[in-house]
Every structure is written in C-alpha cells, then in structure tokens.
Amino acid sequence: MGSERLEQDGISFRDLNGNGRLDPYEDPRLPVEERVDDLLAQMTLEEKVGLMFHAVTGVEPHMGAQTPAQIAERHITTFNVYTLPDPRAAAEWHNDLQRQAEATRLGIPVTLASDPRHSYTDNPATSMAAGHFSQWPEPIGLGAIADPELVEEFADVARQEYLAVGIRLALHPQVDLATEPRWARIQGTFGEDAELAGRLGAAYIRGFQGAELGPESVACMSKHFPGGGPQKDGEDPHFNFGKEQVYPGGNQEYHLRPFDDVFAAGSAQMMPYYGKPEGTDWEEVGFGYNKGVVTGLLRECYGFDGVVCTDWGLVTDTQLPWGEVIYAKCWGMEDASTEERVFKIVEAGCDQLGGESCTDVLLGLVRAGRISEERIDVSARRILRDKFRLGLFDDPFVDPDEAERIVGSETFRAAGERGQRRSLVLIENRGILPLQGRPKLYVERVDPARAAEYGELVDRPEDADVAVLRLETPWDPREGFLESIFRAGRLDFPEEELERIRGVLRAVPTVVDIFLDRPAVIPEIAAECAALIGSFGASDGAVLDLAFGRVQPTGKLPFELPSSMDAVRAQLPDVPHESEAPLYPYGHGLASF
C-alpha cells in the first residue's frame, strides 16, 4: 500500500488504499472506538491473532532476521527492541519497519516497545545501559531521591528520547517492592515502601503518557502485577529454581498497594510476573497463567480494561545462537503442551503473549473451537485501541534529523547528571568529608583521568592522603547465559576480598562508595571506613563531587541495609523493614557533612 497524504478540512492522514478514498479506520476525525470497530470488522482471523503476539526484534541480523516474515506472514505488529545503534540509524531502521507494516493488506502499524534504557544496568533480559540516551540513576536511585517531580521530569525526558527513535511502549515502570534483599531485580524498583513506590510510579506514568494517551505519549506497561519481589530465598522466577512467590507474612495486600496509584495515573497496559504463588488462595500457576489474578483480581476487582501482556517466554523454549537453550517459564504448567499453555494464558484473560510468535498455535485453538473468535476480538480491540490513541495509524514515522538532535542532547544529559548526584546517599561520615584542596588520592574502580581532576594520584594506599574505593554489592556468580547476568545470592563480601578491602581502610582514611543494586551486608566496612556513600547508578564525577562537597547529600536509603546474612535469611520476604537490628534503617541518609 502507498503512503499518499490527502488533505481534507485541513487534516493530513494516510490513504492506505492508495485510491483517494478512506476507510473509516483511516480517518483521524472519527472517534477511536468507531475506527476500531471499522478495522476489526475488516480483519481476518489470522490478522487478529497476530495482534496478540509481542515478539522480539533488533537491528542486528541475528535479532531481526525473522521480523519481515513475522509482519507479512504472521501479522505480528508489536515488537520489543533490544540493542539500538546511534539515534539516526535507529530512527531509519524504525521507519523501515513501519514501511514493511504499511505494505500489508490493512497497513496496521508496528508498536515498538522497550525495556528501560536510561541507566547503568546492562542485562538483556531486563534493561539496557543508556548508550546514546541520557544516563540517569537506576529506578532504585529515583527511590532514594523520593521526589515525584524529579521522577516525572526523568520520564518526560525519556519519553522524548523514545519518541524520537519510534519507541511507543515502555515496558516499565516496575512497581514491585524490594522486601526480599537478595532478589536480583531490586535495582529496577523504587524500594521497599509501598506508598513511595505508588507515588513515584504514578509520576513516572504521567511523564511518559501525559494526562491521557495521545500522539505525543509513550504508553506504559506497568509491572509486575500483583507485585513481584517476595521470592522464595530471593531467587528470581526467570529460573526454575526461583519460581516460587511466597507470603509467609500474609502480606499480599501490601504488594498490591502501588498499583492503586498506577491505575489512577492511567497506565495503559499491565504485565503479570513469572512467579507461581504458593500458600495463598490463588491457583499455583505462574501469574500469566492465573485466571484468578488476571481476570478475577486485575479485571474484575480493579476494573482494568487495558492490554495485559505476559512476561517474556512463557510458552516456548528459546534457542540461542551459540546453542544454549533458555527454557520456557511455564511454572505450574511444565508438563502441559504448547497448546495447553497458550489456551491457559488466553483463558486467564491476557491479551498478548510476550516474547512469543507461535501464532499457528492460537489459530489452531480457535479453529478447533476451544477459543472463540469473539474472545480474540476482545483482545484485538484493546490492542488496536492503543495504536489509534498513540496516533500510529495517522503517522507512524519519525524524523532521523530530530532523533539526532533530541536523543542524548546536552540538556537531557545534564538533567541525568543532576539526578545521579541527587540520588547519592551519605551513609556515614567520620569528619573526613568534604575533602579539601588537592589531596594525594589512591583510587580503585575510578577513572584515573577523572580522579586527576580532583587530586594527585598515587599508586599505593600508604602514599595517599585519602583513598576512594568504588565497590559493588556482592553476588554469587552462576553458570549459564541468563543465570550469569542476574546478580543474586549473597550480599556480603567473600572473606578474602573483605580482608583486602579492610587492608586499604586500615592503611589510609578511605571514602567507600558502594553500588547498592541490592542491600549490601557490610558491617565491617561501615565500621572501618572514614566515609560511606551509597550509589544507585552514578558516574565517577558524581561521586567525587559529593566527596569534595561540590554537591550536598540529599538521598535516603530506599531499603534497609541488613547487619548480617543470618538476618537476611531470617526475615520474612513479603514484609518491609523487617530485618532484625539493621545496620542502617530505611530512610537513613545524612543531610549535611
């Protein structure tokens, strides 16, 4: 189909038929529901079913090789994009994707989605490092700032950068609660306090979507309903060994509280998590399969009528290019067939299957009479409605020149740098900060060129006036591609590494900064350092600026720092602020030097 533009009553729109006449669904002057009705009536079963799959794509050949066939033959029009090139190339690639979609029978545009991509964490299963985009603290750092206005500012910047390259659906915010300190996904949350998570989640949605969904919006898919986080032993349900979600404190309601604010802010879409609830009234199957949760709780109790998309890969295994297999996260449905899994997800009330492209399986279920076409229409209507509200049918293309100008602009990068500095928590200061003059500095895990702007570098701690160490919360290394990129397990340093660090602390007054993607267990370090800073995704310059008093400390801990691993193992995973005798409590942070 062509992309001719017609002018009627001063309004531009696409004539997808290329014949000078408009179908009602092509006319932007009509109400969205009328346009949806008209288009849905023209769609084949195959085209409707294609809408219900949220596949994966990428610019790299091995990621995007199947995309043209998925669009043309499977009628899939929603894609989650992973790594992107420079802004111009990303915009041009997006436009090519839309041209492929425009060439189909009805010209249904692609909705391009993305996990978070504005901070430091680089985990292809959960988030991408900022790269060409402006770089901000992790969401847990936004929790340390605890300012809804700053969160809305961040989300508005991210919205503009997403729009510039054609991303119209954010697979976030993550309003799960960090009540289990070993959980690998804490850096994507706002912390362990439900009230704060709700307020910040709502601000996040306002920044991305605006007052209502429209052509300048990026839709939000909030996650993970009904609240991830209380995982057994802190393991993550990406894996069979972490599939259980447990509530020994009877605290299910607490994990639902942030969603009240998310719904009030108008989150367009919702994602259930992988976890399988145990010891509750809910069926013991993963939440994406769980009718009592998706239909009973989300649809009927909360009245949510937006798109519900499963988390990625509930149905089929994924073969990686080098031969490794990522197995389906089909908890409670491990022995079921592919057909039974798809049936269970649709019956549960989900509209889209995340990370899947097995359209033939769903088609087979409809043709066999197990799922009605009317049920398919319900989901297709929700998905089309968001495409229309986002203005994708009227003009899905982006301007590569604007992408170059907007993405990672000096103004946006400066805002991200300010956010990083505001997120830093001054946990301990024994009279050493702010550092004065140009001291002799011994540094570890700090860019020497950057550190040289603040002092004279030396090679040995004993030759320094002060040391600056940047550490990371420990984790247990694991084998396997996916397992190796999730930082889970222990929170305390192995004895050998701890003694090495303590050797520096004893040799010279030391400022320790620790990246708190999870709550570290560091009683010995806290006792022996001269100053302790908690960071949540911050540049060397941001940390050094705080150490030298160029910015004031403002951040507060968004979770407790436990006193021991025994205390971690003893606490209830679904209850906040529950660690026995924490080293530092929730909300701790010095407000001055």
pLDDT in tens, 436-445: 999 999 999 9
- For the chain, domains (ranges, CATH) are 4-406 (3.20.20.300), 410-570 (3.40.50.1700)
Average of per-residue pLDDT values in the chain: 95
Q: Which helix (H) or strand (E) holds 277?
A: strand 276-278
Q: Is the dihedral of CA 506, 508, 511, 513 positive or negative?
A: negative
Q: Which two tokens stand for residue 489?
A: 């397990």
Residue 61 confidence (pLDDT)? 75
User: Quick check: 362 pLDDT over 80?
Assistant: yes
CB 522 within 8 A of CB 492: yes
Residue 220 confidence (pLDDT)? 98
Mind listing the pLDDT tens digit for each residue in 370-383?
999 999 999 999 99
Q: Which residues are catalytic?
A: 311
CB 450 within 8 A of CB 541: yes
Mapped onto helix, strand or coil, the DSSP state of residue 409 is coil
Q: What is the mean pLDDT of residues 385-404?
A: 98
Residue 17 confidence (pLDDT)? 67
* First vs last C-alpha separation in the chain: 65
SS3 for 540-566 is: HHHHHHHHCCCCCCCCCCCCCECCCHH
Mapped onto helix, strand or coil, the DSSP state of residue 76 is coil
Q: Which two tokens stand for residue 553?
A: 């400390």
User: Quick check: 574 pLDDT over 50?
Assistant: yes
Q: Is the peptide bond before 173 cis (omega within 30 degrees of 0)?
A: yes
User: Quick check: 277 pLDDT over 80?
Assistant: yes
Higher pLDDT, 331 or 14: 331
Burial annotation 489-514 (CB, 10 A radius, 16+ → b, else e): bbbbbeeeeeeebbebbeebbbbbbb
**Predicted structure pTM score:** 0.96
**Residue bearing tokens 């919702």:** 270
Can you tell me the distance from the alpha carbon of 299 to that of 302, in angstroms, rounded to the nearest whole number?
6
Residue/partner pairs of 335-338 with CB below 8 Å, 24 or more apart = none
Mind listing the pLDDT tens digit for each residue in 174-213?
999 999 999 999 999 999 999 999 999 999 999 999 999 9
Mind listing the pLDDT tens digit for each residue in 25-77?
999 999 999 999 999 999 999 999 999 999 999 897 767 789 999 999 999 99
Q: What is the mean pLDDT of residues 158-173?
A: 98
Residue 327 confidence (pLDDT)? 95
Percentage of residues of the chain with pLDDT beyond 90: 92
Q: Which helix (H) or strand (E) holds 469?
A: strand 466-472
Residue 222 confidence (pLDDT)? 98
- For residue 96, the tally of other CB atoms under 10 A from its CB is 11
Q: Which two tokens stand for residue 55?
A: 């596949």
CB 256 within 8 A of CB 295: no
